[in-house]
Amino acid sequence: MIPMTGVQFERLFNMIKRQRIVKETKRKIEILFIVACAFSCITACQNNSSNQETVQTVSYDRASGGGNLGTAASCEGVLEKMINDSCVKVTGANASAEDVIYTLDSYYYNPDENIVAYGIKVTDLEGNRLSTEKKAEIEKNMSKDTMTISFGSYNEITMYESISDDSDFYISGVDLLADNGKDTSGKLNSMVINNGDHEYELSLPDYSVKSKVVNYKVFTSEELKKCVTGEKTLTLVFNTKHEQSELDDELEQKKKELGDTFNEEDYGYIMYSSIQLKMNDGSLVDILNDKEVGTHVKKQLSGISVGLGLESYQVVLDDSVDLYQVNSVLVDGVEHKVDKTE
């Protein structure tokens, strides 16, 4: 036997120690795996209502394109027709609450315009019509925004919302979702109904429609990363990483200087103040002028996502503005012409 030095002996000892740890760890993992499998089997066998709500097989009727969802949601004009023409009937999307069942009956999603519409049927737990008292409770909660419907965007607004009680109790609505600055995925995963005390998640079908969109040249701007018009909307997305970094530095400095008198809301940055559309005939349509919204804007949505490093501004315009006749978009006087390479 060749004698070992102290260093060699220490290396051998550590190697044996590591091998023992690996074996013990492997044995522990095997035990944990067996326990996990057993727990999964027990859990799967239980009649757990929460699992039934989250595991949904959702589909839509491909032959049922079209309906009255836009009308039911109290839309009008072009937007009403867009939604009515392309909405679909949905099956399998439901969630049981304490004393009601929410069922997604009809659905529309247009990722190019960031517009989503929904028709939700509400029944009691036996699938029957709601009592007069329950209807009044839901209507009250909806009017006070203590009951809300959302789709997981970093910002979103309800443009239209309506409750009908003809043969069944329905909640119909249209939301505008904040743009994430990326290519549209064509699918939303789920929607959430929040009644103030609980959240109920409904899975959404793999369905969307497309709009004819026009892109505008933004390569001349350091901040503007996306400028797009659709059939009803104008979407602008700004890169805010530089501005946010400078703001973070300023906030840190001011907090040290001012101490208890420091108020974070006193600081910020402005990415834009004036937005106009220049039409093919040379006329200008005001969208925004120093916080004053143009008369042709029906709805507007602005949102900031620090995580994504962007700020978005979106508007829905009235039917008097033909967005396919836009020649260019002016942001703070800088003209962005149609990108004909797209």
Least confident range from 45-49, 210-214, 310-314: namely 45-49
- All structural domains of the chain, each given as residue ranges with its CATH number in brackets, are 54-203 (2.60.40), 214-259+268-337 (2.60.40)
Least confident range from 33-47, 125-139, 267-281: namely 33-47
CA distance 184 to 149: 22
Q: Strands of the chain (E only): list them.
A: 59-60, 88-91, 94-96, 100-110, 115-124, 148-150, 156-165, 169-177, 190-194, 199-203, 214-215, 224-229, 233-239, 274-279, 284-289, 292-293, 297-305, 310-317, 326-331, 334-337
CA distance 105 to 92: 9
- Indicate the pTM of the whole model: 0.81
Q: What is the predicted pLDDT for the residue at 166?
A: 87
Q: What is the predicted pLDDT for the residue at 56?
A: 67
Please compute the mean of the pLDDT values over residues 179-203 and round it to a whole number.
88
Q: Which residues contact 175 (CB under 8 A, 6 or more apart)?
A: 115, 116, 117, 118, 149, 150, 151, 156, 157, 158, 159
Residue pair 90/106 in contact (Cβ under 8 Å)? The answer is yes
Q: pLDDT category, 185, cuts 50, 70, 90?
A: low
Please compute the mean of the pLDDT values over residues 53-69 and round it to a whole number.
79
User: Residue 268 corresponds to which tokens in the numbers above?
Assistant: 């910020």
For residue 37, what is the enclosing H or E element?
helix 6-45
Q: What is the DSSP track for 227-266? A: EEE-SSEEEEEEE-HHHHHHHHHHHHHHHHHHGGG--GGG
Please compute the mean of the pLDDT values over residues 87-91 and round it to a whole number.
96
Assess whether pLDDT exceeds 90 at residue 72: yes
User: Mean pLDDT of all residues in the chain?
Assistant: 85
Residue pair 235/314 in contact (Cβ under 8 Å)? The answer is yes
Closest CA to 225 of 213, 214, 237: 237
**Per-residue pLDDT tens digits for 100-130:** 999 999 999 999 999 999 999 999 999 999 9
Assess whether pLDDT exceeds 80 at residue 274: yes
**Per-residue pLDDT tens digits for 2-27:** 444 443 434 433 443 333 333 444 44
Q: What is the predicted pLDDT for the residue at 167?
A: 85
C-alpha dihedral (196, 201, 202, 206), degrees to nearest 10: 130
What does the angle CA 66 – CA 69 – CA 71 come to, to the nearest 5 degrees?
110
Q: What is the predicted pLDDT for the residue at 156?
A: 97
Share of the chain above pLDDT 70, in %: 82
Please compute the mean of the pLDDT values over residues 180-198 and round it to a whole number.
85
Q: Which residues contact 237 (CB under 8 A, 6 or more apart)?
A: 179, 181, 224, 225, 226, 227, 310, 311, 312
Please compute the mean of the pLDDT values over residues 314-331 and round it to a whole number.
97
Q: What is the predicted pLDDT for the residue at 43?
A: 41
Closest CA to 72 of 84, 82, 89: 84
Residue 152, Ramachandran bin (φ over 0: left; ψ between -120 and 50: alpha; else beta): left
User: Residue 230 corresponds to which tokens in the numbers above?
Assistant: 């659709």
